[in-house]
Amino acid sequence: MKNTIRVHQFHGGIHPPENKKQSTGAPISLAPLPSRIILPLQQHIGLPADPIVKVGDRVLKGQRVAEAIGRISANIHASISGTVVDIGPHPVPHVSGMDADCLVIESDGQDEWIEHQGLPDYTQLAKPELIEYIRQAGVAGMGGAGFPTDVKLHLGDDHIVNTLIINAAECEPYITADDMLMRERADEILGGIEIIAHLLKPLHIMVGIEDNKPQAIRALHDALDKSHLNLDIVITPTKYPSGGEKQLIKLLTGVEVPSGKIPADVGIVCQNVGTTTAVYRAVILGEPLISRIMTVTGESANHKQNYEVRIGTPIADLLNHSGVDRAQMQRLIIGGPMMGITVTNEQIPVIKTTNCLIAASIHEMPPQPPAQACIRCGMCEQVCPAELLPQQLYWFAKGKEFDKARHHNLFDCIECGACSYVCPSNIPLVQYYRFAKAEIRKEDDEQRKADHARLRFEARLARLERDKIEKEERRKQRAIEAAAAQAAKKDAAFNKAASPATNNPTDAGVPDLKQLKSNAAIARTKLRKAEKALANAQDKGLDGIETLQATLKQLQLKSELAEKAYTEAQQAPAKSAAAPETDLKQLKSNAAIARTKLKKAEKQLAAAEAGGEGDIDALKAQVVALQAKSADAEKAYQAADSGTVSPVAIDTSALEAEIATLQGKVDKAENAWKAAVESGSPAAEKMAAGVEKLKEKLTGLQAELTQARSAVQPAATVDTSALDTEIATLQGKVDKAENAWKAAVESGSPAAEKMAAGVEKLKEKLTGLQAELTQARSAVQPAATVDTSALDAEITTLQGKVDKAENAWKAAVESGSPAADKMAAGVEKLKEKLKGLQAELTQAKGHLETNAEGKAEEAPAIDLKALKQQVSIMRTKLKKAEKQLAELPEGEDNASLMAEIEALRARHDAAKASFDAAEADKIAAAASEGIDLKQLKIDAALARAAVTKAERALSKAEQESKQSLETELLSIRAKADKLNATLERFSD
């Protein structure tokens, strides 16, 4: 047969062994009905289809089971009748071997068609409708890529299509599906071409076919004689990859598709022969794409031939049907040997693009020998059909010089594999290119993301700036208004200030304020949204910007009004609340001062330790004292705070928690002691004593608990401010004295020791006063409630201090420091204090319990805030200490730090426990009124977080400290469990 058209040439190409004869011996036969089919939702390029059936639905053969989403997508139809049994991830034909969403249909064996019929005369239909008809049938390119056919058929709308090329080259070795299709169903192919030609109206139709398919050529000619179609069957020399779209276009027309463009841009549309039959069947017979012709071949297959296979058939069925020797099969390839993918799972289904299945033996496709060095022989360049420099690309990909690879037109590579085929060094070139392409795409993607992130970041900064300016303006506005309001309401304010603090000033203001606040917030949010929408619209040049702008203005107005209302409302109560707060403020600043001092001292200590100076012990003692002071001040403040605001409800659970902590400590101490005994440490005896003491404490606490449970007592109000002031003055004195002492120490003055004694005395006085204050407070609280939690915390602090002091003392003893004696005395003192406090606590609790029992219901706990604050302060301290620990290497310091952490943690726990307890109370009180459990949930979450944090710390800690941390973790976990249990209890 002679070509009437000049065949052009493309560069390169190879002639691998064809291996096509094996599978052309037998005619196409129907593959057996599969017992179940697996339909991947993505068998085509574009978006995956969306399932429109449910598990359990019965579907008929040809029924649409998943519909196309978006323009580039394809419908999927059931290829058997049966029941949908699963929609979910299954292995699919993909190189990665990963799963993707599939529809699984179990056959009912009846193979029952859904009602269908073709179009009697498709030329009567408008083109868009006809294309829609083809789209409904789910036709996608069957050559390999699976591009939805309807999209290609629409190309006539915005391109001038001169030439329609039917790709019948089938250049890959082994594959004969198109060959056999042409031999047996040439009329269907021509029918399909007719439909496509009707839609695209090309000037010229060409069928490109390789000269190794003489029978197919003859069959096409025979069919053409009977048809009125005007087309050229162009025979091309056999050469791989002449079936590549771009290569075939070059062969038949001499035109090159510009890089980055599609053939339609040069007036050409390509369709595979398989696709033409699918179009024919869809239009003339009304059958959707539910089956295709595919080759099953390879040395280990017994019957090498072509089958008509239903889409979704697992390849295991086909392998069984063609008698594949599994023992011999070493490589299973879907597609051809040049571009096909290997699969390892036989349950992978046949999809619309599956044209061949090669069950290769090891002799047929021996494993690739290891790659040798590239000798730049240039053979790859000679065969590259895209006229690239494959070995240069290889060097660039290998060296990750992706810019250069791109510059060398990496993205024009069609991954045909010709270069790998000829490479004498057996380098997996194609994989290098795929890797490089993927990396470049990823980099591009990241660059895009980075640019986007930059935009968002800048937008955020701008927003924050704007907010700041607005806030500033509002503040100014407020100041002016406040001044005016002050003048107007002077008398009223005066009256209010004169009235006793017991009046709850916020009562009237609160609901109003909240409402206003939320109003303002809502308005703001709306405004922001509108702004965003506007920006978006402006970006994209959408319509309706003016409307949006108008809305925005309106919203701005509203927002401003709301905020103004809110601010105004806020000022009124703030002022009225000012009077009772004075006392509190004083206390607060006291606490702050104490804290700052403490920090400074700590810093000094650290510096001293680092510098190895002599006065470390003294400094340490100082720090301890300061810590105590700070804690006291805080306590005082909190106590006052809670006292002025409201009564307190107390629960014995605080005590319980304390006991639990103590027990933990006892256990730990015992462990430590045992370890010490085992290692024969001299400290063992001391430790034993310590353990004893702890145990005693525990017993005492337990007794306390019992007592607390039974006793409740009323109390009266007293103004503690006098005491407070006294304390503050004293603190000032202490500070001054301390400073003087420090100066003395630094200058090496002999008066230093005396001074230290003076400071001690002052401090004692201070502590005494503070204790008095607490006592007074506990005795005279307005709502007859004692803030035992403060006491609790104080006790815990003290305990921590005691522990720390003991540790310090021990260290001092070990190092033979002369300060040891002093320290011992200090420890003793501290212990006494502790005992005193504990006694106090017992007393206070006694008062309280009586009171609480009587009034608990009408006076729910409101000192939660203070408690919470306390907890968070503790937490911060704990965290800091932990961090310090983590930063420190092994050694002695580690131990002391650990001890510190223990103490802090104990404090934290205690605070937490009291907080939790208070909250639990609140919830218990509120439970009857049906208040929500959110707060409780939050607590539980916090506890859980504590557990995870502790776990993390544990994993970080060194081996030695592991044990103690584990105990710690256990106790925290117990707490978390308890909280969770509480949560559950209240949740029902």
Partner 1 sequence: MSLIRITSPHAHRPGNTGSVMLTVLMATLPGLAAMTFFFGWGTLIQVLWGSLLAIALEAACVKLRQRPVSFYLTDYSALVTAVLIGLALPPFAPWWVMTVGIIVAIIIAKQLYGGMGSNPFNPAMVAYALLLVSFPIQMTSWAGPFVMNGDGWAVVSLGDTLSAIFGTAGAAVDAHTMATPLDIMRHRGGFTTEEMWVKDALLANGIGAWHAVSAAYFMGGVFLLYKKIFTWHTPVAMLASLTLLATLSFLLMPDQYPDPFFHLTTGATMLGAFFIATDPVTSATSNKGKLWFGAGIGLLVFVIRTWGNYPDAVAFAILLMNLCAPFIDQYTQPRSYGHAKPNRGMK
Partner 2 sequence: MSAVLVAVLVLLGLGLVFGILLGYSSIRFKVEGNPLVDQVDALLPQTQCGQCGHPGCRPYAEAIVNGEAINKCPPGGQSTVEALADLLDVEALPLDAEDAEEPIKKVAYIREDECIGCTKCIQACPVDAILGAAKQMHTVIVSECTGCDLCVEPCPVDCIDMLPLEPSLNNWQWPAPKPGIELIATDRQPGIALEVKG
Q: Which does 736 bind (CB under 5 to 8 A by kind): partner 1, partner 2, none?
A: none
- Using CB under 8 A, pick the residue from 945, 956, 960, 962 that binds partner 2: 945
Closest among 230, 184, 247 to 14, alpha carbons compared: 247
Is residue 9 within 8 A of residue 251, CB to CB? The reply is: yes
Q: How far apart are CA 970 and CA 115, in angstroms?
A: 68
Nearer to partner 1, 255 or 776 (CB): 255
Q: How far apart are CA 976 and CA 982, in angstroms?
A: 10
Tokens of 622: 């100082």
Is residue 896 packed enough to be buried (19+ CB in 10 Å), middle (13-18) or exposed (0-12)? middle
Compute how many residues bind partner 2; rule: CB under 8 A.
46
- Using CB under 8 A, pick the residue from 1, 85, 145, 459 that binds partner 2: 459
Q: Examine residue 241 and say whether the peptide bond preceding it is cis (omega within 30 degrees of 0).
A: yes
Closest among 97, 188, 175 to 143, alpha carbons compared: 175
Q: How far apart are CA 64 and CA 59, in angstroms?
A: 9
Segment 331-390, which members bind partner 1 (CB under 8 A)?
331-333, 335, 337-344, 358, 360, 362, 365, 367-370, 372-379, 381-382, 385-389
Is residue 735 within 8 A of residue 799, CB to CB? The reply is: no
423 assigned ligand-binding residue: yes
Nearer to partner 1, 160 or 377 (CB): 377
Segment 359-398, which members bind partner 2 (CB under 8 A)?
370-372, 397
Q: Is 234 in the site for partner 1 (CB under 8 A)?
A: no
Segment 432-451, which members bind partner 1 (CB under 8 A)?
434
Residue 431 CB, nearest distance to partner 1 (Å)? 4
171 assigned ligand-binding residue: no
Q: Distance between alpha carbon 463 and the CA centroid of its chain, in Å?
A: 25
Q: Which does 407 bind (CB under 5 to 8 A by kind): partner 1, partner 2, none?
A: partner 1
Tokens of 232: 């050229």
Residue 227 CB, nearest distance to partner 1 (Å)? 34
Judged by CB under 8 A, the stretch of 66-74, 80-88, 325-333, 756-764 that binds partner 1 is 325-333
Q: What DSSP character marks residue 257?
A: P
Q: Is 94 in the site for partner 2 (CB under 8 A)?
A: yes
Write the Ramachandran bin of 155: left for phi over 0, alpha for psi from -120 to 50, otherwise beta: alpha
Q: Is 938 in the site for partner 2 (CB under 8 A)?
A: yes
- Using CB under 8 A, pick the residue from 57, 256, 531, 966 that binds partner 1: 256
Buried b or exposed e, range 774-783, using 16+ CB within 10 angstroms: bbebbbbbbb
Q: Which does 409 bind (CB under 5 to 8 A by kind): partner 1, partner 2, none?
A: partner 1
Q: How far apart are CA 849 and CA 651, in angstroms?
A: 8
Nearer to partner 2, 461 or 757 (CB): 461
Nearer to partner 1, 216 or 422 (CB): 422
Is residue 346 within 8 A of residue 314, CB to CB? The reply is: yes
- Using CB under 8 A, pick the residue from 15, 226, 452, 599 that binds partner 2: 452
Q: How far apart are CA 986 and CA 988, in angstroms?
A: 6
Judged by CB under 8 A, the stretch of 451-459, 633-641, 736-744, 827-835 that binds partner 2 is 451-459
Residue 963 in 3-state DSSP? helix
Residue 535 CB, nearest distance to partner 2 (Å)? 12
- Using CB under 8 A, pick the residue from 944, 966, 973, 974 that binds partner 2: 944
What is the CB neighbour count within 10 angstroms for residue 626? 24
Residue 431 CB, nearest distance to partner 2 (Å)? 5
Q: Is 488 in the site for partner 2 (CB under 8 A)?
A: no
Residue 388 CB, nearest distance to partner 1 (Å)? 5
270 assigned ligand-binding residue: no
Residue 454 CB, nearest distance to partner 2 (Å)? 4
Length of the chain equals 988
Q: Is 98 in the site for partner 1 (CB under 8 A)?
A: no
Strands 305-310 and 341-342 come out as unpaired
| CB-based contacts of 411, cutoff 8 Å, min separation 6 | 259, 260, 437, 440
| CB-based contacts of 40, cutoff 8 Å, min separation 6 | 90, 92, 93, 100, 101, 102, 349, 351
Q: Which residues are annotated as a binding site for [4Fe-4S] cluster?
A: 374, 377, 380, 384, 413, 416, 419, 423
Which residue ranges make up the site for partner 2 (CB under 8 A)? 42, 92, 94-96, 98, 100, 370-372, 397, 400, 426-428, 431-432, 434-435, 438-439, 441-443, 446-447, 449-454, 456-457, 459-460, 525, 934, 937-938, 941-942, 944-945, 948-949
Q: Which residues are annotated as a binding site?
A: 374, 377, 380, 384, 413, 416, 419, 423
